[in-house]
Amino acid sequence: MAFPGTARAGQFMGAHVSVDIRTALPSRELAPVLDHAFRWLRWVEETFDPDDEESQIGRLNRGQTLRQVPEIIEVLHRCDELSAATDGWFDARINGKVDPSGYIKGWALERLSRALTQAGAVDHLIDAGGDIRVRGSVSPGKRWRIGVRDPRTGAVRRVLFAHDVAVATSGRAKIVNPRTGEPRQDLSSVTVLGPDLGVADAYATAMYAMGPAVARRFATGLAAEGPYQTLIVDLDGQLFGTPGLAAYSGAGTLLAG
C-alpha cells in the first residue's frame, strides 16, 4: 500500500536514524526539508561528539578555546538543570570530562521534529536507535504504533499508540553510576515517555544509573508531578510501569520498534 509523504535513513551518533514523513506534501518540498534535517544531524555529531578531539566538546575537554556556539551553552545549561532535577544521577560531567551524550541525541531529534513541523511536515516519525519522536498521524485519524524493544534482547516489551509523544530508551549504551564512576548493569532497560525527547532521554539515562529500587521511586514521583511516564525492565524481564502508560494503549498501525 502506498503512503503519502517520504522517508529517508542514515546514521547519527552510532545509531541508524530514519525519518518517516506522512504529511501529503509534494516531494519537491519534502526533499529539501530532509536534506536540511540530515545536515543538522551531521552538525550536531561533529559539534558534540566527546570522542572526537576536534569537536567542540573534545576541544572543551582539552582546555582549548571554543567557537561561540549558542547551542553548546544551551545544551550544557540544560544538562546542569537535569542534573539538579535528578539529584545528580544524570551527570554530563563524569571523571573530569564533559559528555552530554545522555541528552544530546534526544535534544537533536526533538529540535529536528520541531523543524519538520514548522516546515509543514506535521505527520512524522523519527527513530534513532530506540529514541523515537512522533507527531500527527500515521494516516488520517490513526495514531502511530510504537514497539518499545528491550535493547539487550530485542524483545518488544510494550506497544504504545500516540499522535504526539517522545520515547527514549536507555540500556544499550554503557551508562555510568555517577556516584561510583562504574558502569551500571543491574537493569535491562528504562523507557521514558513525555513531551520532550531530550528530557526523556536524560531521565531514562538517570534512572538506569540509579538501579532498580531508586529508579522505581523516582519514576513514581516523576509521573505524579508531570507528564513523563516510565517503563522499567529488570534483568529477569519483570516490568514496572507508571499508571500514565495506560493513556498510550489502543489500536494503530505498527511502524516503529
Residue 50 scores a pLDDT above 80: yes
Q: Is residue 214 part of a domain?
A: yes
Sign of CA dihedral 179, 181, 185, 190: positive
Q: Please give the average per-residue pLDDT across 116-144, as a whole number.
A: 94
Q: What is the CATH number of the domain that holds 63?
A: 3.10.520.10
Compute the distance between CA of residue 202 and CA of residue 192 in angstroms, rounded to an integer: 9
> What is the domain extent for residue 44?
6-256
Compute the distance between CA of residue 200 and CA of residue 35 in angstroms, rounded to an integer: 26
- Higher-scoring residue by pLDDT: 140, 95: 140
The pLDDT of residue 221: 97
The pLDDT of residue 59: 92
Nearest to 255 by CA among 122, 142, 172: 142
Query: 177-234: per-residue pLDDT in tens?
Result: 888 888 888 899 999 999 999 999 999 999 999 999 999 999 999 999 989 999 999 9
The pLDDT of residue 253: 43
Asked if 79 contacts 89 with a C-beta cutoff of 8 angstroms, the reply is no
Q: Is residue 172 part of a domain?
A: yes
φ and ψ of 8, to 5 deg:
-150, 150
Asked if 248 contacts 162 with a C-beta cutoff of 8 angstroms, the reply is yes
Number of independent structural domains in the chain = 1
Q: Is residue 1 part of a domain?
A: no
Compute the distance between CA of residue 137 and CA of residue 127 in angstroms, rounded to an integer: 15
The pLDDT of residue 152: 75
Q: Is residue 196 part of a domain?
A: yes
DSSP 163: S
Q: Is residue 153 part of a domain?
A: yes
